């Protein structure tokens, strides 16, 4: 028996390194999946891979900056998997810019993807979970939301907002048996980190580029390092845990 037998989960950003790892891990533990990503062709490849491994998986491409797109996504997902009881808000973007270089368009895009999209999905699927007897919502935040990041100001602000949403939504939904928690990764070996490091090098010079030397455990995370924490938060093992943001960062930030 899997730890997520009987679970139906939506995972956003399913084509990225962490999204794929989460999907594989949830499937191994028995969850039925509904995946979404803005990359339609990448989503089809991910879906084919999972199904070839025996997973029960469905997918729909969606732009999480759009309320209309989110409404269609939620409607389709709930028709496909009416027992949906887990949401993993994993989709996100990042960008390295100095405080002077962030434009209004940069700000709006960052907060639309990293804050508005997760909130609207939380609202849509959370309402369903309330009427269905409960569930678990997991927001993928970042340790950048825990403190100042001068080269990632708009990204850090978006992740701090997501941590705040996690706390408030947890209190709003606790009596209805919907738990809301977050995971805050640090540096993780994904394409997003590699792009950030390259941007950082171009804008701030080699000496200030974040590297594994800053991490007490001595290495950057692999996406699989976060999967166990997400499974724990999705499962009944965490039935008494809500409103928490768990740092999974190799000791980069200490609670």
Q: Hey, which residues are catalytic here?
A: 155
**CB of 249 within 8 A of CB of 226?**
no
**CB of 71 within 8 A of CB of 124?**
yes
Q: Which residues contact 197 (CB under 8 A, 6 or more apart)?
A: 209, 210, 211
Distance of CA 199 to the CA centre of its chain: 22
Closest CA to 36 of 118, 106, 105, 130: 118
Report the alpha-carbon distance of residue 151 to residue 78 in Å, rounded. 39
Report the alpha-carbon distance of residue 174 to residue 178 in Å, rounded. 6
């Amino acid at each position: 028996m899997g730890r997520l037998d009987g679970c139906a989960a939506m995972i956003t950003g399913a084509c990225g390194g962490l999204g794929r790892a989460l999907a594989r891990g949830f499937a191994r533990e028995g969850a039925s999946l509904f995946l979404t990503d803005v990359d339609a062709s990448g989503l089809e490849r991910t879906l084919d891979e999972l199904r070839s491994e025996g997973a029960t998986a469905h997918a729909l491409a969606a732009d999480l900056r759009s309320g209309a797109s989110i409404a269609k996504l939620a409607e389709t997902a709930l028709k496909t998997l009416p027992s949906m009881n887990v949401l993993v808000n994993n989709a996100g973007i990042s960008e390295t810019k100095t405080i002077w270089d962030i434009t209004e368009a940069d700000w709006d895009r960052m907060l639309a993807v990293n804050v508005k999209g997760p909130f609207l999905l939380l609202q849509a699927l959370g309402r369903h979970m309330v009427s269905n007897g409960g569930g678990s919502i997991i927001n993928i935040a970042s340790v950048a939301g825990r403190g100042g990041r001068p080269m990632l100001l708009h990204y850090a602000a978006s992740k701090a907002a997501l941590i705040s949403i996690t706390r408030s939504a947890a209190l709003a939904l606790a009596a209805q048996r919907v738990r809301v928690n977050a995971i805050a990764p640090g540096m993780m070996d994904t394409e997003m980190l590699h792009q950030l490091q390259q941007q950082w090098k171009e804008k701030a010079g080699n000496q200030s580029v974040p590297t594994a030397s800053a991490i007490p455990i001595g290495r950057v995370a692999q996406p699989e390092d976060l999967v166990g924490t997400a499974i724990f938060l999705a499962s009944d093992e965490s039935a008494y845990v809500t409103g928490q943001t768990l740092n999974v960062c190799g000791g980069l930030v200490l609670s």
